[in-house]
Structure 1
Amino acid sequence: MQPADILSSLFPAGHDVTEAGGLLTGSGRLDPQTTVDVVGISGKTYPGVDEALALAGHILSITTRPDPAPLLFLVDSGSQRMSRRDELMGLSETLAHLAKALWRAEQAGHRTIGLLYGGSAAGAFIATALACGSLVALPGAWPEVMDLPSMARVTKLSLDVLKEKAAGTPVFAPGLDNLFATGAIAEIWDPARPLCDQLKALLAVTRDDDGRAGWGLERGGRVKAAAIAREVQRLALAHG
């Protein structure tokens, strides 16, 4: 689905979302009573320092408002823009700032939902889609924390060895099905159904905890994380 189709399906009561320089900003109406703030990255844009600061600034401006409107982050990006200029200007710090802006929005009462409808990779994926309180995706999306050729360069393992490991270990592998199995993605939405109904259903669920480690256990993609997290919490409370 293209952004125009996604926005029409999400907001049958209308929206004012605009695109400039590969960034989306605006708001939409799920119904006459429910407004949702929207930010995003579109067109496989590679976010750098300028884009990260612009998105973070927009998100932080939302947190100053008294209303608790949800915040939807649409994502179709490349990896972060690893140009010399961006690296020298503190790319990692500005991406961390963007992730913390999303956390601040959650703390201010705004549910943050990432909707991955295209690609995203590496630091750009971590600081946008994965930094949201909940992450959903549409079929055909292609997330990856690191692609296998890059992983081969870092680990010094052959691409054949990595492909073999990725085939049996979702936490090790790129792609929508693997990220869903690990619990990183809460739901894969059905594009044949109105997206507004699926967003309303997600917003109606009260979250008691993050949930991702539990989903990873249930789906068999990350079977140790939930138990380890519980043990870390127990030890921390015991020595608090």
Structure 2
Amino acid sequence: MPAKMPLDRILASLFPAGHSVRVTDGLITGEGPLDGTRLVVVGIDGDTALGVEGALALSRAVLDAVKTGDKAPILVAVDSDSQRMSRRDELLGLYECLAHLAKSLLLADRLGHPTVGLIYGHSAAGAFIATALATRVLAALPGASPSVMDLPSVARVTKLPLDKLEAMAASTPVFAPGLDNMVATGAVHAVLDPEQPLDAQLSALLADLPAGDTRDRLGRERGGRPMAQAIAERVVSQARGG
């Protein structure tokens, strides 16, 4: 697997003229110039687990960006652990805080702030869903290792033997973690080239953003989720009485 690109190199490539992005307790916040406008940056660095405080702090950063009314694009950079597995966080309603963060990003995008995720390290489970997957499109850098759930955890939940899941994962991307499988299922829209300037690549991605969520279509075209688009369309049609 390629080495993970560190955040300082990513930021230098995104903002050659400088930026105000900072990392505090594993949380990324700040902004920098991109194509004559500002790019808001939020996220998680250093394989940090996302807990109640972190989810609320990132939500506030997103909503503060929305309040400006300037419709600046928002980049969600992610190198996280999963959500923080503590009794305290669960008792404080971590699931609601993660949902609040996801909804904040969805609201921002709906109100005219294009949202793009960038996974450059690890991420999993609720932290992955509430950040990277809550953006309109998700880009990645080589060396990223995303997963919704690792196979040992899938085995515990489904009660299926791990060796059977590993065999299924070899031919069915939806069962398997990892960047290549996330690309095949359509979860990752594009993989960027770390050897080329990231500002130009992100500008091109923003200029060609799809109007809505195209993950199911990409999954069909790439062979990772051949049935998802058709099933989703049937559900929508039936819900509308078609």
Question: Where in structure 2 are the equivalents of 1:188-207 lying within 5 Å?
Answer: 188-207=191-210
- In the aligned structure 2, how far is the partner of 1:238 from the partner of 1:161? 40
1:179 and 2:182 correspond: yes
Question: Where in structure 2 are the equivalents of 1:79-158 lying within 5 Å?
Answer: 79-158=82-161
Shift of 1:141: 0.2
CA displacement, residues 33-58 of structure 1 (integer Å, 9 cap, x when unaligned)? 12100001000000111100110111
For the residue of structure 2 that corresponds to 1:78, the secondary structure is: strand
Of 66, 72, 75, which aligns to 2:78? 75
For the residue of structure 1 that corresponds to 2:84, the secondary structure is: coil
1:59 and 2:73 correspond: no
Of 9, 12, 29, which aligns to 1:25? 29
Shift of 1:237: 3.0
For the residue of structure 1 that corresponds to 2:44, the secondary structure is: strand
Give, as a single letter, the amino acid of the residue that structure 2 aligns with 1:95.
L
- Count of aligned residue pairs for this structure pair: 238
Q: Where does the alignment leave 5 or more consecutive residues of structure 2 unmatched?
A: none
Corresponding residue for residue 3 of structure 1: 7
Of 164, 169, 185, which aligns to 2:167? 164
Give, as a single letter, the amino acid of the residue that structure 1 aligns with 2:25.
G
Corresponding residue for residue 218 of structure 2: 215
Q: Where does the alignment leave 5 or more consecutive residues of structure 1 unmatched?
A: none
CA displacement, residues 159-179 of structure 1 (integer Å, 9 cap, x when unaligned)? 111110111110111000001
For the residue of structure 2 that corresponds to 1:130, the secondary structure is: helix
- In the aligned structure 2, how far is the partner of 1:225 from the partner of 1:55? 31
Shift of 1:29: 1.0
1:14 and 2:18 correspond: yes
Shift of 1:206: 4.3
Shift of 1:207: 1.9
Could you tell me whether the CA contact under 8 Å between 2:76 and 2:115 is conserved in 1?
yes
What is the Cα-based RMSD across aligned positions, in Å? 1.0
Shift of 1:235: 2.3
Identical counterparts, % of pairs: 59
**For residues 152 and 57 of structure 1, do their structure 2 counterparts lie closer, same or farther at Cα, with a shift above 3 Å needed?**
same
- In the aligned structure 2, how far is the partner of 1:104 from the partner of 1:227? 26
Shift of 1:147: 0.5
Could you tell me whether the CA contact under 8 Å between 1:11 and 1:29 is conserved in 2?
yes
For the residue of structure 2 that corresponds to 1:14, the secondary structure is: coil
TM-score by length of 1: 0.96
Could you tell me whether the CA contact under 8 Å between 2:30 and 2:41 is conserved in 1?
yes
Shift of 1:236: 2.8
